[in-house]
Amino acid sequence: MAKEARSRGSIIYKLLIVILAVALVATILFPKSLWNKEARSTQLCRENMEHILYTEYVYLSEKNTFTDTLSKVIDLIKNDTTGVLLRNFENIDSLLSAKIMNFIKNKDTTAAAIIDTLAEYGRLNGIDTTSALILDSLRTFPHYNEKIDSIALATLDNIGSSPTVHRPYFIQVVDTSAIKIVNIRCPLDSLDSLAVTKDFKLGKIGGLRISNHGAIENGEKSWTR
């Protein structure tokens, strides 16, 4: 009887050790996963604001003004049957064009060879082979042209709200006879930060802290100052 009791006690002791080990690993991995997710959200939020800025530039070129209604901008670009406005967006948004090229390079070795050859040719001959010029070269191939446009359209569909709080960005327009300015700001505020801090799972166990991801004011990004 005593031997059986000792055996059960040994099993329980070993189970407790396993449970404690799992709990210890969880306390390390869970916060790290939360922090990594917020880091990705911060990057994506800032990229979204950059994309919004360039869509506003396209809108400005057509309407001679900015707008604080993002849906107007996106609809203007997507509903342009000539495709010119979408191409303008792809060309002036250097972040987007770099993403497009990297995506295509990773998926297609032929495209990767074309992109690398153009870049190297420009380097050797002192030619500024910008992303826009390389994209224009790829567009001569219908397959790549469709892929470029599909990535740009998907981007337009996903820039409407912050990935952390899922609310639309604040867009402020200054339009006078002298200046035209558009400012874009992340919608995350102090109440959102406080809610996460007080949340038992996120703030207490995970140790997660969030803050506003910044703004673009008159073309200047707050996170690069």
Per-position DSSP letters for 86-141, written without gaps between them: HHHHHHH-HHHHHHHHHHHHHH-HHHHHHHHHHHHHHHHTT----HHHHHHHHTTS
The length of the chain in residues reads 225
Instruction: Give the pLDDT band (50/70/90) at residue 120.
Output: confident
Judged on CB neighbours under 10 Å (0-12, 13-18, 19+), 42 is buried
CA-angle at 57, arms to 157 and 136, nearest 5°: 75
Mean of the per-residue pLDDT values of the chain: 87
Confidence of residue 139 (pLDDT cuts 50, 70, 90): confident
Q: Characterise 210 by phi-psi region: left (phi > 0), alpha (psi -120 to 50), beta (else).
A: beta
% pLDDT > 70, the chain: 86
Share of the chain above pLDDT 90, in %: 59
pLDDT (tens digit per residue) in 36-78 = 999 999 999 999 999 999 999 999 999 999 999 999 999 999 9
Rounded to an integer, what distance in angstroms lies between the CA atom of residue 89 and that of residue 106? 22
Residue with the two structure tokens 């209604």? 69
What pTM did the predictor assign? 0.84
pLDDT tens, residue by residue, 73-114:
999 999 999 999 999 999 999 899 989 988 888 888 888 888
